[in-house]
Structure 1
């Protein structure tokens, strides 16, 4: 049984064949053709061969196995926070973050008939959450689907005018749907941050280029462990822009953390802060240092 709607299958087959023929030019993404991750790949690498993957795990495995050179993965959204499972998958993958990219998410309401014929709208749960207010005002029932672009392909395949989709304008173009409304997200700042994953770490950014460093670490099971671990960043003037905790392997004894800081691992202040972090933790894994494309300011 196919993991994609039939209308998406032909595109997936063609794109996969092109990527398989030139793995060095291929870039994996999660979702059906027309997904926002597909849009991100096109913006970042216009000449690349996008490789659709059903899941984040599949996209990561495609890079690990050498079926493609890189993967573009969403990591957080300005409305709904972090993307589920990514922080678990990153440290396990053995891959490195080599770049970041921001996509302004402009959701479109689309279908095969007229807008006044819609009774339901299908899309990914995050997308539905981002248009919750607008959909409620229209009196349309939201129904969860596993992917935004796949939802568009499904609507196109059924031809049911009572069911619409929330997806990108690219998805509407690929599947021949009518766009009833553009920009239906509830907040103008609706933006998703993507990271580019590769098998090898990128060269450190040149001096004078603002950098970001992403890492994972596990604190020791002692009082004030996190406070002591992060103290070096405060005393050395390093800005921590993200700090998220999670529990792994059923253990509630000590948490693992995903963190991002402003700075390169060869900055003297970062070197000192990282030394203190390593002293107070069980382990530290730097996932990548890469250029900061959007300055982190209040």
Structure 2
């Protein structure tokens, strides 16, 4: 908690105490109170108790240790792409993805009215989503741990010329003025969150289902082509495929994928069996209801 600016620490202490009294209802999220992840937790769990955590690892650990029933973690943004390190952290967490949540992102510039802004402090994702807006106004982006903590820092220090990019929600929590609204570079700014729990769940029958998984291809020619062939021949729609390197060897590539359907569906089972045959390993991260129909 000591890593947060002082205005946020008071709120974190209050929220942590409430979560500790009823951990089953606690929803761990990364960031200070007022962050977009806080808004996502409130939106997905109206009766939940949001639990602020300083890092993604802290949020996942809170669920593993039973201090929270769920964690809500951003995985990708429509403007700025995937959230850094998440593809490593989710498989290593030992938790299961049990749901997803989409949150429209409406970043605001928060600070003190009447003071010209020369620098904007925020999480790198938020800075990237408003990169063109900042550049057009000659405002220098300054990376910080998260959006709402940046707002708390502005409230604490009041440095001349500094403002934060954060949700409007954070302005009310930290007594800041909204200097500009909706400063994202495109109107379709949306973040997808995954909801994680200690145990996997079987989605209700009859609802569209997603399954997330990771795998590592063999270091041979056409490895990825062969590994993915089973999805094509069995008619399983893959809605997302991203590669990433681990360990700095540049010798083997791991992939994160989302598919429609779930294990137990004959076509999905056949596709995953073929995937296992052509890869070093496959790790299923969870099956969960689709929050938004893909391809629309």
Cα distance change of structure 1 residues 141 and 248 upon mapping to structure 2, 3 Å threshold: closer
Q: How does 1:81-160 map to 2 (within 5 A)?
A: 81-114=81-114, 117-160=116-159
Question: How far is the alpha carbon of 1:142 from its aligned partner?
Answer: 2.2
Tell me, what secondary structure is at the counterpart of 1:226? Answer: helix
Structure 1 residue aligned with 2:177:
178
Shift of 1:185: 0.7
Alpha-carbon distance in 2 for matches of 1:249, 1:161: 42
Q: Does 1:14 align with 2:25?
A: no
2:267 alignment counterpart: 269
1:161-172 equivalences under 5 Å are: 161-172=160-171
- Worse-matched range after superposition: 269-278 or 6-15: 269-278
| Structure-to-structure mapping, 1:147-296, within 5 angstroms | 147-206=146-205, 208-296=206-294
Aligned length: 296
The whole-number CA distance in structure 2 between the counterparts of 1:159 and 1:248 is 40
How far, CA to CA, are the matches of 2:254 and 2:135 in structure 1? Answer: 39
Q: Deviations over 1:173-209 (max 9, x none)?
A: 1111111221111100011000001110011331x31
CA spacing shift, 1:249–1:133, aligned 2, 3 Å: closer
For 1:184 and 1:75, the matched residues in 2 are separated by: 21
* Cα separation, 2, equivalents of 1:279 and 1:205: 30
Contact kept? 1:229, 1:277, Cα under 8 Å: yes
| CA deviation profile, 1:21-46 (whole Å, cap 9, x unmatched) | 11111010000000100000000001
Q: Residue 73 of structure 2 corresponds to which residue in structure 1?
A: 73
State TM-score, norm by structure 2: 0.96
Name the CA distance, whole Å, in 2 between partners of 1:110 and 1:54: 21
Distance in 2, Cα, partners of 1:181 & 1:265 = 47
CA RMSD of aligned residues (A): 1.5
> Residue 113 of structure 2 contacts residue 179 of structure 2 at CA under 8 Å; is this kept in 1?
no
User: What secondary structure sits across from 1:117 in the alignment?
Assistant: coil
Q: Report the TM-score when normalising by structure 1.
A: 0.95
Separation in structure 2 between the aligned mates of residue 260 and residue 117 of structure 1, nearest angstrom? 45
